[in-house]
């Protein structure tokens, strides 16, 4: 698969289809930044890519410890890829702790780039090594590029007006420079970014750029150990269009803004800081000029309540959090449900229960989304599958919330929120409008008058003359909207609330099959961010002629109308989830199919190889 190609710099490079690089270092070493910059260059060079930032919960864990290691993995290729890659081909380890944590993932024969200056006796001991791993044979089966990165960085920035501490801090840019050389990445986007970021500190900007260039020059001039060479990864053959790199957080924010515009409403976000959802608050507060008001509330409860209060006055109410915060919002979500106000609840799921693994990803809030409230409280649940898909699902959540006058739960997760992918930017004008019509006619009005088709109640907002009315958490009379303790009425209202949500199934697309036939031996049924891994695993098997198909849900409540029938066309149904088995129960409950659960609760996304193995064991032989 590797051929040598001549490059514009006159050298010869080996062509690769795909590479997985993992940058790892201390949380203070700037690995996320290095990864992000490498991603930008890679995106601009036309490769397909997927990333996986993996950082510790501690902001600045003690230097040199294994629990303070922060990593960023990127998979880029000349073809269509969907996951950040299973195992890294190249590990850049900025200290012994990073080596200790990540070497086990590098297959034998892989490349390890090390900053030897960080391998002091103290750091080696801190990382938990008894001997120096550079000398005791630990690295025997790898291609090792050991470099005194601190020293070389310090020399490179000598002429810049920086302290020695500031000089050493540029070492991540030195490493980035070397990787840019090794994989033929353009440095200019990083230079531009540095100049912009440090516009007020020109000496720091100059030092970072000097380090970047020095790392690049090092690659050009120094002879690398055998096995290590310069590569080129040709651009991917992607659909023509305009692209950008996007994270799930950005895509949710833009999707909510787009949805609000399509509904012709202002957007009000009530939120409270929580990992990994806070970035959504940060992103939306910078979109004020698009009619967005953000409110950092005193707690999770006030966050959702403020959004409900805003919705009551005619805004699109949005609240965002992660599992533990959603738990606190539960009672208020019930209020929005019973008062039938439009509200989008974004849950950026993380490892749980309780505080759990706040910076790691998980899909374990599905039960919470579908069932997690007191009383009979059905709600629409929509799940995003990729960073780019977050844009579409956010718009869909807004559409359902406003059309059906209901809270909608939008499930993303920490992996989607933080990981980046190239995204073909859609034409926003081509997305249909769904403008809200407020009730203004007093004739025959009461607050619980329903649309015959959608069963949504009419929305009359304070300030409208002649439509003064009272709503609240106490059960209301079906025919007048007044308080009612009547038992038959409560039965009827409970039924109509459920029928309204069930009816949404008529207004969503039928379930499609992502890869494979519509019938066969095995259906792999997924939801959320496992999409990439499942799709790639099933894709490989289908290519070999195995009878397996990938079905991926966007609408989890209600399910698409044809889902039961579709699943019945397969001998077996396998449900991989990053939880202890949740969707599998919904499926078994709803369709009485003998679905099998594949679980992984490690805080890490599925590996393609893991899923492939599971599939093969069910359809081969």
Q: Which of residues 247-266 bind other proteins (CB under 8 A)?
A: 254, 257-258, 261, 266
Q: What is the 3-state secondary structure (H, E, C) of 376-419?
A: CCCCCEEECCCCCHHHHHHHHHHHHHHHHCCEEEEEEEHHHHHC
Residue 354 structure tokens? 């309780």
Interaction of residue 308 with other proteins, rule CB under 8 A: yes
370-409: which residues touch other proteins (CB under 8 A)?
Answer: none
List 240, 432, 545, 621, residue binding other proteins (CB under 8 A) = 240
Applying CB under 8 A, among 145, 302, 369, 573 the residue interacting with other proteins is 302
* 588 CB-contact burial (10 Å; exposed 0-12 / middle 13-18 / buried 19+): middle
Q: Which of 215, 173, 179, 217 is nearest to 195 (CA)?
A: 173
Interaction of residue 241 with other proteins, rule CB under 8 A: yes
Name, in order, each residue with C-beta under 8 angstroms of 492's C-beta and a sequence gap of 6 or more.
478
- Residue number, 300 or 612, with CB nearest to other proteins: 300
Instruction: Give the nearest distance from C-beta 277 to other proteins in angstroms.
Output: 18
Q: Is 564 in the site for other proteins (CB under 8 A)?
A: no
Whose Cβ is closer to other proteins: residue 103's or residue 379's? 379
Smallest gap, in angstroms, from Cβ of residue 469 to other proteins?
Answer: 7
Using CB under 8 A as the binding criterion, the count of chain residues that bind other proteins stands at 75
State which residue, 150 or 484, has the beta carbon closest to other proteins.
484
Smallest distance from other proteins to CB 334, Å: 8
Tell me: does residue 225 bind other proteins (CB under 8 A): no
Binding residues for other proteins restricted to 280-299, rule: CB under 8 A = 287-291, 293, 295, 297-299
Among 30, 64, 110, 314, binds other proteins (CB under 8 A): 314
Q: How far is the CB of 308 from other proteins (least distance, A)?
A: 6
Q: How far is the CB of 461 from other proteins (least distance, A)?
A: 8
Footprint on residues 417-446 left by other proteins (CB under 8 A): 425-429, 442, 445-446
Q: Min. distance of Cβ 35 from other proteins in angstroms?
A: 16
Other CB atoms closer than 10 Å to residue 109's CB: what's the count? 10
**Cα end-to-end distance, the chain, whole Å:** 30
Enumerate residues 69-98 that contact other proteins by CB under 8 A.
Answer: none
Nearer to other proteins, 137 or 240 (CB): 240
Burial label for 65, CB within 10 Å (0-12, 13-18, 19+), is: buried
DSSP state of 586: H
Binders of other proteins among residues 134 to 193 (CB under 8 A) are 189
Of 201 and 474, nearer to other proteins (C-beta) is: 474
356: left (phi over 0), alpha (psi -120 to 50) or beta: left
311 DSSP assignment: H
Residue 128 engages other proteins in binding (rule: CB under 8 A):
no
The CA distance from 236 to 48, in Å, is 6
Of 221, 226, 242, 374, the one binding other proteins by CB under 8 A? 242
Based on CB atoms, which residue is closest to other proteins, 63 or 471? 471
SS3 call for 548: strand
The interface with other proteins within residues 458-477 (CB under 8 A) comprises 461-474
Q: Which is nearer to other proteins, 285 or 609 (CB)?
A: 285
Residue 437: Cβ-neighbour burial (10 angstroms; 0-12, 13-18, 19+): exposed
By C-beta, is 361 or 377 nearer to other proteins?
377
Phi and psi at 520, nearest 5°, equal 160, -165
Listed in sequence order, the residues at least 6 apart from 259 whose beta carbon sits closer than 8 Å to its beta carbon are 316, 344, 394, 395, 396, 397, 398, 399
Kindly list the distances between the CA atom of residue 46 and the CA atoms of 19, 237, 239, 503, in Å, as whole numbers in the listed order.
14, 8, 11, 43
| DSSP secondary structure of 47-58 | -EEEEEEE--SS
d(CA 464, CA 613): 61
| Rg value, the chain, Cα | 27
Taking the complex as a whole, the smallest distance from the CB of residue 350 to other proteins amounts, in Å, to 24
The encoded tokens of residue 207 equal 């030092």
**Given candidates 20, 24, 33, 43, which one binds other proteins under the rule CB under 8 A?**
43
Q: Does 198 bind other proteins (CB under 8 A)?
A: no
Other Cβ atoms within 10 Å of 277 Cβ, number: 27
In the complex with other proteins, the residue whose CB is nearer, 6 or 474, is: 474
Q: Does position 239 bind other proteins by CB under 8 A?
A: yes
Out of 36, 65, 75, 306, name the contact with other proteins by CB under 8 A.
306
| Least distance CB 40 / other proteins (angstroms) | 6
Residue whose pair of structure tokens reads 């690659």 in the numeric block: 219
Q: Which stretch in 38-46, 85-93, 204-212, 399-407 sits in contact with other proteins by CB under 8 A?
A: 38-46
Phi-psi group of 451: left, alpha or beta (phi > 0 → left; psi -120 to 50 → alpha; rest → beta): beta
Measured from the CB atom, is 43 or 206 closer to other proteins? Answer: 43
Give the residues across from 268 on adjacent strands. 293, 317
**Least distance between other proteins and beta carbon 314 (Å):** 7
Beta carbons of 552 and 385 less than 8 angstroms apart: yes
Phi-psi region of 162 (alpha: psi -120 to 50; beta: other; left: phi over 0): beta
Q: Which residues contact 22 (CB under 8 A, 6 or more apart)?
A: 71, 72, 73, 88, 90, 91, 92, 102, 105, 106
- In the bound state with other proteins, the residue whose beta carbon lies nearer, of 152 and 256, is 256
Give the number of residues written for the chain: 621
Structure tokens at 28: 């203070």
Q: Does 197 bind other proteins (CB under 8 A)?
A: no
What are 577's strand-pairing partners? 599
Among 19, 98, 210, 315, binds other proteins (CB under 8 A): 315
Q: In angstroms, give the least distance from the CB of 155 to other proteins.
A: 32
Specify the residue, 225 or 473, whose C-beta has the smaller distance to other proteins: 473
From the CB of 257, what's the least distance to other proteins, in Å?
A: 7
Residues 324-363 that bind other proteins (CB under 8 A): 331-332, 335, 339
User: Cβ of residue 332: shortest distance to other proteins, in angstroms?
Assistant: 6
* CA nearest to 343, candidates 361, 355, 330: 330
Taking each helix axis as running N to C, give the angle between helix 278-285 and helix 248-263, from 0 to 180 degrees, rounded to the nearest 10: 50
Among 53, 56, 96, 270, binds other proteins (CB under 8 A): 270
483-502: contacts with other proteins (CB under 8 A): 483
């Amino acid at each position: 698969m590797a051929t040598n190609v001549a490059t514009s710099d006159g050298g010869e490079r080996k062509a690769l289809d795909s590479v997985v690089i993992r940058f790892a270092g201390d949380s203070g070493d700037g690995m996320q930044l290095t990864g992000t910059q490498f991603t930008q260059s890679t995106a601009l060079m036309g490769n397909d890519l997927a990333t996986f930032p993996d950082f510790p919960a501690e902001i600045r864990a003690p230097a040199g410890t294994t629990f303070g290691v922060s990593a960023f993995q990127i998979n880029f290729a000349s073809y269509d890829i969907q996951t950040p890659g299973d195992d890294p081909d190249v590990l850049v380890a900025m200290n012994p702790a990073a080596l200790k944590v990540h070497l086990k993932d590098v297959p034998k024969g892989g490349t390890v780039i090390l900053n030897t200056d960080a391998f002091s006796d103290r750091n080696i001991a801190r990382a938990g090594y008894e001997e120096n791993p550079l000398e005791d044979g630990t690295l025997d089966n790898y291609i090792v590029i050991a470099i005194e990165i601190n020293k070389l960085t310090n020399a490179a920035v000598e002429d810049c007006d920086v302290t020695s501490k500031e000089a050493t801090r540029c070492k991540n840019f030195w490493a980035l420079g070397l990787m840019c050389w090794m994989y033929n990445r353009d440095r200019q986007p990083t230079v531009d970014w540095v100049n912009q970021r440090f516009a007020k500190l020109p000496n720091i900007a100059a030092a970072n750029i000097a380090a970047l260039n020095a790392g690049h020059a090092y690659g050009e001039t120094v002879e690398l150990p055998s096995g290590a060479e310069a590569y080129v990864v040709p651009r991917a053959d992607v659909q023509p269009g305009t692209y950008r790199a996007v994270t799930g957080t950005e895509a949710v924010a833009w999707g909510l803004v787009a949805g609000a515009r399509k509904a012709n409403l202002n957007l009000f976000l009530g939120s409270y800081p929580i990992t990994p959802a806070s970035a959504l608050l940060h992103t939306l507060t910078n979109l004020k000029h698009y009619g967005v008001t953000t409110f950092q509330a005193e707690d999770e409860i006030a966050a959702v309540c403020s959004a409900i209060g805003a919705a009551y006055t005619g805004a699109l109410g949005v609240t965002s959090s992660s599992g533990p915060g959603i738990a606190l919002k539960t009672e208020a979500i019930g209020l929005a449900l019973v008062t039938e106000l439009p509200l989008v609840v974004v849950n950026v799921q993380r490892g749980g229960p309780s505080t759990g693994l706040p910076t790691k990803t998980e899909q374990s809030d599905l039960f919470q989304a579908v069932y997690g409230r007191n009383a009979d409280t059905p709600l629409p649940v929509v799940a995003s599958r990729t960073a780019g898909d977050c844009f579409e699902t956010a718009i869909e959540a807004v559409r359902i919330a406003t059309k059906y006058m209901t809270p909608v739960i939008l499930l993303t997760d920490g992996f989607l929120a933080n990981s980046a992918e190239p995204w073909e930017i859609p034409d926003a004008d081509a997305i249909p409008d769904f403008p809200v019509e407020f009730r203004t006619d007093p004739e025959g009005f009461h607050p619980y008058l329903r649309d015959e088709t959608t069963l949504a109640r009419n929305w009359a907002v304070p300030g409208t003359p002649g439509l003064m009315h009272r709503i609240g958490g106490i059960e209301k009379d079906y025919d007048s909207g007044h308080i009612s303790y009547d038992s038959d009425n409560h039965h009827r209202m409970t039924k109509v609330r459920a029928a309204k949500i069930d009816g949404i199934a008529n207004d969503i697309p039928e379930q499609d099959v992502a890869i494979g036939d519509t019938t066969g031996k095995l259906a792999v049924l997924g939801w959320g961010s496992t999409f990439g891994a499942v799709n790639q695993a099933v894709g490989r098997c289908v290519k070999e002629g195995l009878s397996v198909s990938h079905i991926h849900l966007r609408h989890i409540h209600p399910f698409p109308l044809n889902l039961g029938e579709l699943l019945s066309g397969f001998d077996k149904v396998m449900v991989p989830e990053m939880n202890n088995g949740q969707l599998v129960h919904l499926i078994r409950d709803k369709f009485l199919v003998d679905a099998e659960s594949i679980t992984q609760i490690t805080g890490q996304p599925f590996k393609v190889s893991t899923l492939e193995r599971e599939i093969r064991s069910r359809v081969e032989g």
